[in-house]
Structure 1
């Protein structure tokens, strides 16, 4: 267990930290937890920053699922699915920009189904 943890960045759904003792990166996001070596961290960050959210949202526009952006894993039968807001928050974590909510939020940022009666 790591004891010398430094938080690098934090958003509403998780945080990215590093253990200064063993140089392992820890990503906690929603109900997902990752541990990355330095090389794994850089590979995941490169992949993540290259994701085009709008492409995936459009490609699976007719799908009846809420999360439409896939991130494959080494395990063949495991694909992690995210929505656009979650991907943007992950990108904020990996760019160490503090919080995605430092600026004012817009209506698009609010995940709520509004029903007019």
Structure 2
């Protein structure tokens, strides 16, 4: 693990940081952890901003899973699945805008299905 970690941005579900000594990017998001070289960081960012959430949600609209947006990996049997809120949070981590971490809950942070009777 690197010792000179500087946080680039932070959201409710994770944070993006860089080691200023070895120039390795660290992405912690929910239960996923990545280490990227600069080239890998740029490639992942490019792929992330090209994702069309609406397309994938429509394609897998009938599926019984909550997360419908796939992000493939180099390992052929591993695909990471995200929902629209998670993709939005990931994009905000990579948007190069210093994020201010809000310790209070937002309406989008509450994962609850409200049923009115």
What TM-score comes out, normalization by structure 1 length? 0.90
Give the Cα–Cα distance (whole angstroms) in 2 for the partners of residues 93 and 109 of structure 1: 16
Query: Is 1:45 paired with 2:45?
Result: yes
In structure 2, the CA distance between the partners of 1:110 and 1:54, relative to structure 1 (3 Å rule), is farther
Q: Name the structure 1 match of 2:16.
A: 16
Q: Name the structure 1 match of 2:2.
A: 2
In structure 2, the CA distance between the partners of 1:35 and 1:106, relative to structure 1 (3 Å rule), is closer
Q: Name the structure 1 match of 2:30.
A: 30
Contact (CA 8 Å) 2:70, 2:79: kept in 1 or not?
yes
In structure 2, the CA distance between the partners of 1:4 and 1:101, relative to structure 1 (3 Å rule), is closer
Contact (CA 8 Å) 1:11, 1:98: kept in 2 or not?
no
What does 1:1-117 align with in structure 2 at a 5 Å threshold? Answer: 1-99=1-99, 110-117=110-117
Kindly state the Cα deviation for residue 62 of structure 1 after the two structures are TM-superposed: 0.4
In structure 2, the CA distance between the partners of 1:21 and 1:42, relative to structure 1 (3 Å rule), is same
Please tell me the root mean square deviation across aligned C-alpha atoms, in Å: 2.0
Give the Cα–Cα distance (whole angstroms) in 2 for the partners of residues 108 and 5 of structure 1: 29
Mark the runs of 5 or more structure 1 residues left unpaired by the alignment.
none
The secondary structure found in structure 2 opposite 1:45 is: helix
Aligned residues: 115
